[in-house]
Amino acid sequence: MNVNTAQRASAAGNLRPIDADPITTEVIRHSLGSAAEQMKRALIRTAFSPIIYDVLDFAGAIYDRRFRLLAQAPTLPLFMGTLSFCVEAAVEGCGGEKELEMGDVLLYNWPYGTGSHAQDAAIIMPIFVAGELLGYSAIKAHWLDIGGKEAYSTNTTDVYQEGTFFPSVKLFASGEPVRDVLRIVAANSRVPRAVLGDINAQIVGVRTGADAVSRLVERYGQPVFWAAVERMFDHGEATVRSYLREIPDGRYEARGWMDDDGITSEPIPFDVVVTVAGSDVTVDYTAAPDAQQGPINCPIASTVSGTRIALAALAGGQEPPNEGHFRALRVETRPGSLFDPQPPSPCFLYAWPIVQAIEVIYRALSVAIPERVPAASGGDVVAFSWWGRRRETGEMWVDGAPHPVGQGAHARGDGASSLIHISEAATRFAPAEVWEARNPMLVEKLELCQDSCGPGKYRGGLGLELWFRALDDCHVTASIERTKTRPWGLAGGGEAASNECVLERTDGSSVQMAKITALHVPQDAVVQLRTGGGGGYGPAEERLPEAVLNDVREGYISESHARAHYPHAYSSD
C-alpha cells in the first residue's frame, strides 16, 4: 500500500477564499495548540488510571473535516500519527459523516484502523459550528484491560485473543449516553471501574477540545480560520522541504532485526529503503518479511506514524507538527507484511517493530548525512505490565510503564542518558515513591547503568538499572526488544550494551526475561532490569583524556571499561 501524505493533503485541501496575515495565522495556530493542550490537561485531571495521568500513555489531537491534522498536544508521539487513521476509520465505520450529529461521541479500537492493540481505544467527537461539521477532536488512550487473554500479552497468535473490539459505535448519540455500550465495555474488563473512569475522562477531553475550537472559529469566522490553516500547512511543508533539500539525492538502505516474534526464538531481519529526490522522501517497507505468527506485526497506521516521527525529529524545525509537515513524505508498504498486516494477524506488540524501524531509518541516512543523525539508542520502550490481587481486599491492581534507555552519541556530543525512546518521548515512568505508594512493590535500585554506553569520541548515553522487589505475589508481562543485537555506533564509534532483565527468586532460581507473558513473580522475588545504552560516535581514541577521567569520577564508566576502550587516557601511568 502507498500512503502519500502529500496526496492525502492536496486531495482533501480546502480552497483558500482569502489570504490570512501572518499575525492572525500565528494567533490561530497557537490557539489550536492551546485547544489540544486543554484536552490533554482535562484528561490528566480526570483519568482514573496512572498509565494515563502519570505515564501519559495517550495522545490528543484536532483534525479538520477532511482528517488533516490541525494541532496535537505533546504526549505519546507514536499515537499522534495514527489518530488521522482512527478518526477516518471511525467515521466510515459508523456510516459516514451524514450519520453524525452534534453531541455524538464515537468509540473505536479495531487495531488495523487505530494502528494499535485493542487496549488503545480512540474516543472521537465531531465538532459542529453553526450546524456545520468542521472537524473532530480525538483522544486515543491505553485502557488497563479490555478482555484479552491476559492483561498484557506477548504471545497471541491471532487478533481475537487480544481484546474486545468496538468497530465504531456511539457512546453518546446527540448528547445522550448509550448505556448499553458502556455496560458491554464494563462487562469485558477485569478492572471495569478504572476503564469506565478513563472513558469518562476521554469524553471530558474531547468535549474540551471541541468547545475550544468552536469558540476559536466563531471568533474569527470560517473564511479567516481556513485561510490561516492553509497558510499554517504551507509553512510546515516549507520547513521540512528546506531540510530535505540539503540531503544528497539517493537510495539509502539499512537492515534491522527483531529479536523474535514472541512465539519462536528466531531473529527476524527486515530492510528499510529511504529514497531522497529533491525535497521529497519515500520510505519503503515493501521488502519486509510476511506478517509473523506472533504479535509483533505493525498495522500501517503505526508504520506511517513511526516514519513521521523519524522525519519530524530531523526536519520539523522543533515546531509542533501539523499536516503540512508530512506532505513531502511517502510511505510504501506491502499488504500482508510485518509493517502492513491484515486480519487476523496478531498485533499486540505493534509498536516494537516500528521502534526498531525508526533507528534503521537513521542508520540508512547516516550514509548521506552522518553529521545529522545519532548512533543507535537502546532501541526499545522496555515495557512492563504488572498485575495482582491485593491481599487485604482481593481487589485487582494493574500498573505498568515504559522505561528509559541510553541515546546515541552524535557529531555534536555525547548521547543523553536514560530517556524514554523517541517514539514515546513524552511518556514517563512513575517516581519510586509514587510506585511504592500505590503498588505492593519496593524499588531496591534506581540508578544509571554503569558501562552501558558505547565508546567513541563522543560516548553514548547510559541506560537505567532498576530493581523491583515484589511485596506480594503478582504477575508481570515484559515486552523487551534489542536483547540480541547491540546498539550500533557511527563514524567509528563502538557498540553499547543491549537490554537485559532477569527475575531472581528467593529459592535461588532465575528466569531471563525478554518477551514473556504473565510470569508469576512470587513474594520477595526481585526483577532486575538493565536497559541498553546508546552507541558511540567517532573513534574512541579521539575522546579527550579529561572527558574519560571525568566519566570515571562520576561513575558513568568503570576504570576497567576506561582502560579497555580509552587506553590513551592512562598513557602517562
Q: How far apart are CA 450 and CA 467, in angstroms?
A: 15
User: Using 50, 70 and 90 to split pLDDT, how confident is the model at 3?
Assistant: low
The pLDDT score that the predictor gives to residue 1 is 62
Domains of the chain, by residue range, sit at 2-238, 374-573
Mean pLDDT on 66-93: 92
Mean pLDDT on 228-235: 96
**Which of 339, 355, 359 shows the shortest CA–CA distance to 347?**
339
Q: Which three cell numbers stand for residue 102?
A: 452534534
361 φ/ψ sector (left φ>0, alpha ψ -120 to 50, else beta): alpha
Q: What is the DSSP letter of 300?
A: H
| Percent of the chain's residues with pLDDT above 70 | 97
Question: What are the phi and psi torsion angles at 421 (to 5°)?
Answer: -55, 150
The pLDDT score that the predictor gives to residue 6 is 43
Q: How would DSSP label each residue in 100-135?
A: --TT-EEEE--HHHHSS-TTEEEEEEEEEETTEEEE
Q: How would DSSP label each residue in 392-414?
A: TT--EEEEEE---BPPPPBTTBP
Burial bucket for residue 337 (CB in 10 Å: 0-12, 13-18, 19+): buried
pLDDT digits (tens, 9 = 90+) for 119-147: 999 999 999 999 999 999 999 999 999 99
Q: How far apart are CA 177 and CA 269, in angstroms?
A: 48
Mean pLDDT on 338-367: 97
Q: Which three cell numbers stand for residue 217?
A: 472559529
Q: If DSSP codes are grouped into helix, strand and coil, which group holds residue 447?
A: strand
Mean pLDDT on 348-355: 97
Q: How far is CA 119 from the centre of its chain?
A: 14
User: Using 50, 70 and 90 to split pLDDT, how confident is the model at 9?
Assistant: very low
Mean pLDDT of the chain: 94
Q: Which residues fall within 8 angstroms of residue 179, CB to CB, at 6 or more apart?
A: none
User: Using 50, 70 and 90 to split pLDDT, how confident is the model at 11?
Assistant: very low
Residue 176 bridge partners (DSSP): 173
User: Using 50, 70 and 90 to split pLDDT, how confident is the model at 431?
Assistant: confident
Question: What are the phi and psi torsion angles at 39 (to 5°)?
Answer: -60, -45
Asked if residue 53 lies in contact with residue 44, where contact means CB atoms within 8 angstroms, the answer is yes
Does 175 score more than 50 pLDDT? yes
Mean pLDDT on 22-51: 96
The pLDDT score that the predictor gives to residue 572 is 75
Q: Which residues fall within 8 angstroms of residue 351, CB to CB, at 6 or more apart?
A: 78, 116, 298, 302, 381, 423
Count of other CB atoms within 10 angstroms of residue 54? 20
The pLDDT score that the predictor gives to residue 229 is 97
Of 8-17, 70-79, 435-444, 493-502, the poorest mean pLDDT is in 8-17
Does 335 score more than 70 pLDDT? yes
Of 312-321, 341-350, 366-375, 440-449, the poorest mean pLDDT is in 312-321
Does 291 score more than 80 pLDDT? yes
Asked if residue 170 lies in contact with residue 94, where contact means CB atoms within 8 angstroms, the answer is yes
Does 17 score more than 60 pLDDT? no
CA distances (Å), 73 to each of 62, 116, 237, 338, 429, in order? 9, 19, 20, 29, 19
Does 350 score more than 80 pLDDT? yes
CA distances (Å), 233 to each of 106, 453, 494, in order? 27, 40, 41
pLDDT digits (tens, 9 = 90+) for 497-511: 999 999 999 999 999
Helices (H) and strands (E) in the chain, counts: 14, 21
Mean pLDDT on 257-283: 97
Counting every residue, how long is the chain?
573
25 φ/ψ sector (left φ>0, alpha ψ -120 to 50, else beta): alpha
Q: If DSSP codes are grouped into helix, strand and coil, which group holds residue 96?
A: coil
Q: What is the CA radius of gyration of the chain?
A: 24
pLDDT digits (tens, 9 = 90+) for 469-526: 999 999 999 999 999 999 999 999 999 999 999 999 999 999 999 999 999 999 999 9
Q: How would DSSP label each residue in 358-373?
A: HHHHHHHHTTT-TTTS
**Which of 460, 461, 458 shows the shortest CA–CA distance to 540?**
458
The pLDDT score that the predictor gives to residue 2 is 63
The pLDDT score that the predictor gives to residue 52 is 93
Does 13 score more than 50 pLDDT? no
Mean pLDDT on 87-96: 97
